[in-house]
Each structure stands twice: as C-alpha cells, then as structure tokens.
Amino acid sequence: MADQLSDRGKRILEAVIEDYIATAEPVGSRTITRSHALALSPATVRNVMSDLEEMGLLASPHTSAGRIPTEKAYRLYVNSILEVKNITRDKKDEIRRRCQMAGKDPAQVLKETSRLLSTTSSYMGVVMAPRPASSVFHQIEFVKLPGKRVLAILISKNGTVQNRLVQVDEDIRQEDLVRMANYLTDQLQGLTIAQVRERILNEMNSEKVRYDSLMARALALSEQTINTGNPELFLEGQANILDQPEFSDAGRMREIFRAFEKKSLLLDLFDRAMQADGVQIFIGSESHLLKMEGMSLITSTYMTGKDTVGVLGVIGPTRMGYGRVIPIVDYTAKLISRLLETE
C-alpha cells in the first residue's frame, strides 16, 4: 500500500488512538469494528493496521496482542486528525470559579493555578513563575527589625516581592536605611532586575562608594536581596499520575518521581516552551528528556499585559486525552493572563 496515509487509514488510526487512550490496552481489529461504526470487517481493518505498522504509526507488543500507537502516530494525530473540542461549559465555569482568588499572595495564585490544572485535567499541573531577572524594578526598602536584623524588600512592577532577612552590626539607624532605600529606588528606576544586579555590582567596586561605608552596606544588602536565579516551579497533583495504569509498576513510578524532584530538567523544557507563544505539545521523547518516556506535556505561555512572562501546562501520559486537555490549558492560560493584567 501507498506511503501516503489514505483517508480510511486516518480514520482507523484515529480509532486505535482513541480506544487506546480510553483503555490503555492494545487495540485489536475486532474491537475497532465494534466500537466505531466503520462498516468494515475485522479482516480489512487488519490489513490497514498492518500498513500503518509498516509506516511506523502502530506497534505490536507481541504477535497476538492488539496494536499500540507510536509517538509518531500521536504527533500525526495531534497535528492533523484531532479536532480540538471547545471547552465544555462546565469546565469553563469550574476554572473561572476557582480563579476567583482576588487578594491572594501572587505566588499563591500560581500555586492554586497549578492545582487547578491538575484537578481539571486529572493529570499533573505545572506552572512556571515569571523569571525574576526579567521583571522591572519598582522599589527597594530596608526595614529594621529587633535583634540586629534588617529585612530588605525588593518590589517589581508586576507585583512580585523578594525579601531577605540579613543580620547586621547594630549601628545602622532606620533613618539611614530609609535614606539609602530612597536613593537606590531613585537610581534604579526603569531597570530590569538583572540590570539592577549588574548596576549594583558595578557600584560596589566604584571609587566613590569605597569611602561611604553606609552606602557600601546598603549596596551589599541589596545585592543579597536580588534573586536572579531560576523561576519557581509549581508542580501539583503528582498523585494523579499514580492512577495511570502504565505507571502502576513501582520502579517506573519511582523513576518519575525522582525525575520531577530535579526541577532543573523541567525548567529547561519550559524555557523551550516559552520560545513560542500559545499552546505547544511535547510528545514523549520529543522533549529530549530521558525520563519523559511515555509522558507528554501540553503547555501554553501566559502574559502580563503584552509580555510573555511564564509557562503553564499539564503533564500526563502520552496516552492522554489531548482533545480534552488542550482547551483546558489554553483557557487557563488566557484567564491567568487576564487576571495578572487587571488585578
């Protein structure tokens, strides 16, 4: 048969994938003729399936089991067969209702969102917070606390707050701290946090500052407060993947959990997802993460105002209800963007 996928081939591939998604069992020719009104006999379906196998779209675990879609098949399915459903009214309401988190700590909002993604999709929810380095500086403050401690607070225009508790020798006065903070706030207007850091490091080495011990200390304080490190990653609903039959094996399960404990791997992946706007889908090994074998990731970027600032998504088995989950991710991302913009 042709290398080209016939229309009938497509329909049968779709049937296999959908059955497999539903049952996690290899799909046989009989099953398909029964459940999908194709008006074809099992024998015919077998012929077609054999062709699909040759094209690398199906695989059989062994001779007398049914067949399983390959990654290539999922990719094809997602690209050109799947019709993304509209999100159901119910889901929409549920998401909207649970997004009523006005007045919450901004970090909490993202965590809640991650949990929301996990429960609505029944897979794992992931949200990558905005990269601290790229947000825009708004204000810095130093607050003197009892016990020779100073709390430094760094506020960004997008409303995120970084703070550090630092011990100092006791002869700093609150008035001096305020003066320093005002001066710095003035100096650093309009810079991104990354630039702020650079500026401060420069200043610290400048001649002028060398002889101003107060300023030197203020700069040191600021420097300790600035976090240009990795953005936070909120991973919720890990227990959900325990329900997936393909991970019922204890060893496999352990591997996956260990992999997710190392968040750096996921961060890389999410960084890649942030390169392009909108919904993206990584199927199995496409993510180039060894441990992601058998797992897929659906992501979408979210924004504050006009800037793409973060990524959120759902991680599940390759055998995932794409048609159902894609709109959930999409809708949630849009809702969060709106929430971050106005609130």
Partner DNA sequence: GTTAGCACTCGATCAGTCGGAGTGCTAATC
Partner DNA sequence: GATTAGCACTCCGACTGATCGAGTGCTAAC
> Is 227 among the residues that bind a second copy (CB under 8 A)?
yes
79: burial class by Cβ within 10 Å (0-12, 13-18, 19+)?
exposed
Task: Pick out residues in 90-129 that bind a second copy (CB under 8 A).
Answer: 102-106
Chain position carrying tokens 């020779």: 148
Asked if 224 is part of the footprint of DNA (rule: CB under 7 A), the reply reads no
Q: Which amino acid is at 217?
A: R
The verdict on 155 binding a second copy (CB under 8 A) reads: yes
Per rule CB under 7 A, is residue 263 in the interface with DNA? no
CB 27 within 8 A of CB 45: no
Query: Which one of residues 161, 201, 276, 290 is an interface residue with a second copy (CB under 8 A)?
Result: 161
Residue 205, classed as helix, strand or coil, is: helix
Q: Which does 80 bind (CB under 5 to 8 A by kind): DNA, a second copy, none?
A: none
User: Site residues for a second copy, window 29-58 (CB under 8 A)?
Assistant: none
Asked if residue 257 lies in contact with residue 244, where contact means CB atoms within 8 angstroms, the answer is no
The residue type found at 224 is Q
DSSP string for residues in 71-108: HHHHHHIIIII--PPPPPHHHHHHHHHHT--TTS-HHH
For residue 63, give every residue at least 6 positions away whose Cβ sits within 8 Å of its Cβ, in sequence order, or none.
none
Q: From 54, 42, 55, 44, select the one nearest 8 (Cα to Cα).
A: 44
- Tell me how far, at minimum, the Cβ of 181 lies from a second copy, in Å: 12
112 and 95 in contact (C-beta within 8 Å)?
no
Nearest distance from C-beta of residue 2 to DNA, angstroms: 10
The one segment of 20-28, 95-103, 195-203, 314-322 that binds DNA by CB under 7 A: 20-28
Nearest to 80 by CA among 2, 11, 19: 11
> What DSSP character marks residue 144?
E
> Contact between 19 and a second copy (CB under 8 A)?
no
Q: How far is the CB of 219 from a second copy (least distance, A)?
A: 14
Pick from 2, 147, 169, 175: which binds a second copy (CB under 8 A)?
147
Minimum CB distance to a second copy smaller for 31 or for 304: 304
Element counts in the chain: helices (H) and strands (E)? 13, 10
Chain CA centroid to CA 33, Å: 39
- Measuring CA to CA, which residue among 107, 60, 90, 49 is closest to residue 232? 107
Near a second copy by CB under 8 A: residue from 231, 237, 313, 317: 237
Binding mask of the shown chain, residues 55 to 74, with x at each position contacting DNA by CB under 7 A: -----x-xxxxxx-------
Minimum gap (Å) between residue 32 Cβ and DNA: 9
**What binding mask, one character per residue, do residues 239-278 give for a second copy by CB under 8 A, x or -?**
x--xx----xxx--xx--xx--x-----------------
Binding residues (CB under 7 A) for DNA: these are 8, 26-31, 39-44, 46-47, 49-50, 53, 60, 62-67
Residues of this chain that bind a second copy (CB under 8 A): 102-106, 138-139, 141, 143, 145-147, 149, 151, 153, 155, 157, 159, 161-167, 224-225, 227, 237-239, 242-243, 248-250, 253-254, 257-258, 261, 305, 341-343
